[in-house]
Amino acid sequence: MGAPDFAGLPHIGEALKRKEDYRFLTGAGQYTDDIDLANQTHCIFVRSPHAHATIKSVDIAAASKMPGVVGIFSGKDIEGKMGGLPCGWLINNPDGTPMKEPMHPILAINKVRYVGDHVAMVVAETVEQAKNAAEAVVVDYDVHPALVSVADAAKKQSGVTLHAEAPDNQCYKWAIGDKAAVDAAFQNAAHVTKLDLVNNRLVPNPMEPRVAIGSYSRANEEYVLYVSNQNPHVERLLMTAFVLGLPEHKVRVIAPDVGGGFGSKIYLYAEDVCLTWASKQLNRSIKWTGERSECFLSDAHGRDHVSHAEMAMDAQGKFLALRVHTDANLGAYLSTFSTAVPTILYATLLAGQYTTPQIYVEVDAWFTNTAPVDAYRGAGRPEATYLLERLVSRCAWEMNLGQDEIRKRNFITAFPYQTPVALQYDTGDFHACMDKSKQLADVAGFAARKSASEAQGKLRGMGYSSYIEACGIAPSNIAGALGARAGLFECGEIRVHPTGSVTVFTGSHSHGQGHETTFAQVVAARLGIAVEAVDVVHGDTGRVPFGMGTYGSRSISVGGAAIMKALDKIEAKAKKIAAHLLEASDADIEFANGEFTVKGTDKKIPFGQVALTAYVPHNYPLDKLEPGLNETAFYDPTNFTFPGGTYICEVEIDKQTGEVRVDRFTAVDDFGTIINPMIVEGQVHGGLVQGIGQALMENCVYDSEGQLLTGSFMDYAMPRAEDFPMFKLDTVCTPCTHNPLGTKGCGEAGAIGSPPAVINAVLDALAPLGVKDFDMPASPHRVWEAMQKGSAST
C-alpha cells in the first residue's frame, strides 16, 4: 500500500484554511431553505399530540376550504400507493429467527405511536396559510396508555403493544461471543466488578433543522428533491426502490450546503417522501422547513441504553472475561440504521483497547412510544466506550490500582489483533497515547491542584477514558455478513480538464467536515498540482455517479480511497500519453511531483501538457489510446479503520451547588495519516463538545404519558463555549494498513471518548463523600443530590 509514501507528499499534513469557509463566512452558502422554486407551495405536517392512540377519523373538510390551501393528504389518502420507510439492517435472533420489522407508514394510517408522528400534510400557497389550515384539521383519537422507558419495556408488564407484529414490543434479541467460555471464566475469577448504568437519550440538534423541497416536471417526467441530508444517493435509492417504486433515473436528489447533521440527516424521513410524491399529485413544487420543535419531536434521537456489565479479573487486575446485557430503546419505528447501532456498532466494540480473552454481550431491542432512535455522532461506539471505560475505572477503584495502571496492564500491544467480538484491529499504539496524554494533562501536578481546590472548599477529580472505534463504515463483506442490505463502498470520479485543473466528484457528502479542502489536498498531492486547481463536487445524484454518503467517519478512508483508486487509473492512462509524447515505452515512464520522466534520462513533460494532449491529441495513436482523462472508481474497504486514544478530564465541583466545571481536558488520538491537522482539530473539538455536553447537561426526557418534556432549548441544555476550557490535543500516528492513505476516521472520536472521562472525573471528585455511582448528565441538581445521598451513607 502507498501509505508511507503518501504521507510524505506536499499538502499532506498541511493545515490549510478551509476552501469552503469563504462562502460560509460571507453569507454565500446555499442551504436548502435558501432555494425557492417557481410555482412553489409550502407544507406543514399535522403531528400527533399523543404518544399512543388509535386514529378514529381525520376530518379535512373545513381545512380544505381555508384560504390558499392547495391540497391535504392523510394516511388513508396514500394507503396502498407506496411502501413504508425501510430499515437498512436486518438482525437475526440467536435462534435464527428474524427480527420484527413492523410497517412504518409514511403518514400514520390507523394508529399514532409517538408524539410528533405524522398524521397529515397540508399544502398551501404560504407557510402561514398552511399553518392555519393544519390547525383546522380535526383528528379524532382514542388515546391508549403509552410505553415510554426501555426499562419498562424490558419488564414486559406494561400491557401496551405498539405493533401487532411484536406483541411483547421486542424487536430482537441479539448476542455475540461465547457465553459458556465467559461463564467458566467468571467461575475462576479472583474478583468480579459489577456496574449498572444508563446511557441517556440525546437529540442531535444540528444548527440547520431539516428542510426539503419536492418538485416534479411533467415535461420530463422527473422529480427533484432538494433536501438537507447526509447521503443523497442512499436517500434516492431507498425512496425509489422501497417506497415509491419509481425508476431511479427519474429522481434527482440534491443536498446543497448542509448546516450539520451529526447522524440525524442520514435517514430517509417521511417528510421527504411526502413532498416528492405530492409534488406530482398537485403539480406544484412543495417546500417544508422544519421548525426547531419538530427537530426535537421527530428527528431520530440517539443513545438510550440501560445496561448491566460485569468484569472478571485475576488477582493482579488482568481482565479474564466481560459479560454485558443491554436493553436498547429503538423508539416507535425502525429508522434506517437503528437496528445496527446497538448491535454491530456497539457490542463489537466492547473489547476496547484490552486483551480481555472472553466477551459475551446480549442486546434486547424494544419498541416504545417515543421518537425513533438511530445513529447520533458515534452511534453505538460512544455507548460501548461509556460502558467499558466506566467499568474499567470501577475495576481500578475496587482493585486499588491506578487508573492508568489497570488500563496499561490490559492494553493490546501486538497487531493485528483479533478480538473475541468479531473485529480485527490492524494497528494502534495504546501505551503511546496513554503516556502522551498523561504528560500533556500534567497528571503529576494533579495532587497540588486538588489541594488548591480543597483550600477553596471545592472538590477536584480526574477521569480517564481509553477508547477505540471502528470507522470507515463499512466493508461490504463484513456489512453483508452482519445483515446489511447493501455494502457501504464509496465512489470517486476524477475529471482532468484540458488545462490540467481537476474536478472531483465524490459520494462523500460534506456537511461541515471540510471535504472540499481535504479531498482537494489529496488530489493535489497525488498529481503535483496546486490545491486551488482542484474543485470538489458532492451532494447531487445528477452530477456524482454514486455514493453511500457521510457517516461513521468514513469519508477520507473510504471516499478518499476511492479517489486514490480513480487517480491510479488517471496516472496509468496519463503515463501512456506521456510515453507517446516522449517517444518512450509505457513501462519506462515515471511520475512524481507533477512531472512525467523517462526513467534514467532527463526527458520530461509536466502533467498539464499531458492533460492538454489528452483532449487535443497531436499525432495521437487514436486506435490504441482513447482521448480524454476522466476516470471513476469504486472502493470497498477490506476492514474498518480503528482510531483510538486516551482522554483525561479534570473537573472541579462546587460543594454548595453541585456545579461541575471541566477545568482541563486532554485528548490524544491516533488517526493514522492526517491530511489536514487544522480540520482534524476542529472535528475533535466538535466531538468533544458533544460528548462533554452529554456528560454534563444534555438529556432527553419523556413523561410517563410519552410527552416530550425537553422539547425546546429552554429545557434541553446545549453546551456553550463558556462551558469548556481550551482543549489540549495531540496525536500519535500508526497508519492504517489497508487503505492507500493510511488514514483513520476522526469525525466521531471526541464524542466517543469524552463522556466516560468526564463521569469518571466526577466520581473521582465525589469519592470522599462516598458516591460510587452516577448516571449522566452531571447537572448541578443531580450532582448535589448524589452528594447529599453519598454523605448520608458514609
In the block, residue with C-alpha cell 467461575: 187
Q: Which residue ranges make up the site for ligand MCN (CB under 6 A)? A: 206, 260-263, 377, 511-515, 518, 550-557, 671-676, 679-680, 683, 686, 743-748
3-state secondary structure of 735: coil
CA distances from 172 to 195, 343, 364, 366, 781 (A): 24, 10, 6, 7, 36
Q: Which is nearer to ligand MCN, 75 or 512 (CB)?
A: 512
d(C-alpha 246, C-alpha 236), whole Å: 10
CA dihedral 706, 709, 711, 714 (to 10 degrees): 180
Smallest distance, Å, CB 425 to ligand MCN?
A: 16
Residue with CB nearest ligand MCN?
Answer: 512
Q: Which is nearer to ligand MCN, 514 or 790 (CB)?
A: 514
Cβ distance 133 to 60 under 8 Å?
no
Q: Which is nearer to ligand MCN, 133 or 556 (CB)?
A: 556
d(C-alpha 494, C-alpha 599), whole Å: 26
Q: Which is nearer to ligand MCN, 45 or 337 (CB)?
A: 337
Q: Which is nearer to ligand MCN, 554 or 738 (CB)?
A: 554
Q: Which is nearer to ligand MCN, 641 or 699 (CB)?
A: 641
3-state secondary structure of 41: strand
Question: Which of 311, 281, 379 is CA-nearest to residue 77?
Answer: 281
Q: Which is nearer to ligand MCN, 69 or 300 (CB)?
A: 300
Smallest distance, Å, CB 731 to ligand MCN?
A: 9
In the block, residue with C-alpha cell 397529515: 120
Q: Which is nearer to ligand MCN, 11 or 305 (CB)?
A: 11
Smallest distance, Å, CB 345 to ligand MCN?
A: 11
Smallest distance, Å, CB 550 to ligand MCN?
A: 5
> How many other CB atoms sit within 10 Å of the CB of residue 8?
10
Smallest distance, Å, CB 427 to ligand MCN?
A: 13
Smallest distance, Å, CB 378 to ligand MCN?
A: 7
d(C-alpha 545, C-alpha 11), whole Å: 27
> How many other CB atoms sit within 10 Å of the CB of residue 272?
28
Question: Which of 383, 276, 435 is CA-nearest to residue 748?
Answer: 383
Cβ distance 49 to 114 under 8 Å?
no
d(C-alpha 279, C-alpha 266), whole Å: 23
CA dihedral 616, 507, 482, 687 (to 10 degrees): 140
Smallest distance, Å, CB 272 to ligand MCN?
A: 18
Q: Which is nearer to ligand MCN, 673 or 760 (CB)?
A: 673
What are the counts of helices (DSSP H) followed by strands (DSSP E) for the chain? 21, 28
d(C-alpha 572, C-alpha 201), whole Å: 51
In the block, residue with C-alpha cell 447531487: 540
Q: Which is nearer to ligand MCN, 395 or 548 (CB)?
A: 548
d(C-alpha 300, C-alpha 33), whole Å: 21
Q: Which is nearer to ligand MCN, 500 or 745 (CB)?
A: 745
d(C-alpha 207, C-alpha 210), whole Å: 10
Q: Which is nearer to ligand MCN, 301 or 511 (CB)?
A: 511
Q: Which is nearer to ligand MCN, 649 or 679 (CB)?
A: 679
Question: Which of 758, 653, 764 is CA-nearest to residue 386?
Answer: 758
d(C-alpha 542, C-alpha 138), whole Å: 40
Give the contacts of 78 (CB within 8 A, at least 6 positions apart).
106, 107, 274, 277
E strand intervals along 414-521: 417-418, 424-425, 458-468, 490-496, 502-506
Smallest distance, Å, CB 201 to ligand MCN?
A: 17
Smallest distance, Å, CB 523 to ligand MCN?
A: 12
Smallest distance, Å, CB 483 to ligand MCN?
A: 20
E strand intervals along 102-244: 111-112, 118-124, 138-143, 170-177, 191-199, 211-217, 222-227
d(C-alpha 776, C-alpha 788), whole Å: 17
Q: At what angle do helices 403-410 and 430-440 cross, to 10 degrees?
A: 160
- 191-199 and 170-177 as β-strands: parallel, antiparallel, unpaired? unpaired
Smallest distance, Å, CB 510 to ligand MCN?
A: 7
In the block, residue with C-alpha cell 403518514: 107
Smallest distance, Å, CB 87 to ligand MCN?
A: 19
Smallest distance, Å, CB 376 to ligand MCN?
A: 7
d(C-alpha 121, C-alpha 43), whole Å: 7
Cβ distance 388 to 406 under 8 Å?
no
Smallest distance, Å, CB 736 to ligand MCN?
A: 9
3-state secondary structure of 246: coil
Q: Which is nearer to ligand MCN, 536 or 778 (CB)?
A: 536
**And the C-alpha cell for 375?**
445513529
Smallest distance, Å, CB 516 to ligand MCN?
A: 9
Q: Which is nearer to ligand MCN, 193 or 639 (CB)?
A: 639
Q: Which is nearer to ligand MCN, 170 or 508 (CB)?
A: 508
**And the C-alpha cell for 144?**
391508549
Smallest distance, Å, CB 262 to ligand MCN?
A: 4
Q: Which is nearer to ligand MCN, 7 or 391 (CB)?
A: 7
> Residue 258 phi/psi, 5° resolution?
-125, 125
d(C-alpha 771, C-alpha 664), whole Å: 22
Listing from the earlier edge strand, what are the strands of the sheet with 458-468? 458-468, 644-654, 660-670, 728-731
Q: Which is nearer to ligand MCN, 108 or 563 (CB)?
A: 563
Smallest distance, Å, CB 512 to ligand MCN?
A: 2
Listing from the earlier edge strand, what are the strands of the sheet with 53-59? 111-112, 53-59, 138-143
